Amino acid sequence: MSNKGTSKTSKVAAWILWIVNFIVMVTCILIMTLGLWIISSPGSLSTVIDFTGNATIKALLQDMLSLQVGIAVTAVAIFVFCISFMGFYGAITKSPFLLFMYSALVLLLLLLECALLYYFSSNLVEKGLQDDGLWTHAMRLAFKCCEHNATIPDVKKPPWSCCGPETYPDNCTATMIVKKDCQSSIVSWLERYQLPIYTSLALIHVILSSCSIVRRSCHASRSYS
């Protein structure tokens, strides 16, 4: 009876690892394809982006068609793919080494993600949006906001994302900018959602790591019985 229960628990853990890691691997392949496309042929990708007709997508993605972004996107996708493949293949083969490595790397990823999230959220709370990079534009569009210092006439031309995607790349004026301040909007959003985000990240990573340990321990118990 105990062996049947252990076997059932192991199968459930294996299915969770298969499904989650398969989805992650497919997503990573798509992201890798995008990264390699940015590296090899940004012009053709720009044409495809223009063909979509979506002003927000066109404005945001046009800013990321650079060699550095392509290399970074591809490298991160390959790294995450390798970790997911460890979990996927380890769950199939019941490899103790792969399952242990996957469990350890998933927990390390959790620490890294929480550290990065804390670092960027703290910077946003203390300093607000500081530059006009891709993520800054995306956050302005998402929150429909603009920094107060960008609204002062004659100091500098407001960034296009302060007015909306229709003004890309340089048609935004001081009279067109949105009135909501970015820093206060971001602080309010973080106060509401920061704890659920940390909790969700922890739950997902701990569940995957636990499934890996369960699958590994089941194989080890059978080996010694």
The mean pLDDT values, 10 residues at a time, for the chain of 225 residues are: 63 92 97 91 80 71 77 94 95 91 95 93 81 80 77 64 81 82 88 93 94 78 45
Residue-level pLDDT at 27? 97
Residue-level pLDDT at 139? 86
pTM (predicted TM-score): 0.80
Please, is 17 exposed, middle or buried when counting C-beta atoms within 10 Å of its C-beta (0-12, 13-18, 19+)? buried
Residue-level pLDDT at 224? 40
**Distance in angstroms (rounded) separating the CA atoms of residues 163 and 94:** 54
Residue-level pLDDT at 218? 64
CA dist list (Å): 120 to 99, 124, 130, 132: 31, 6, 12, 15
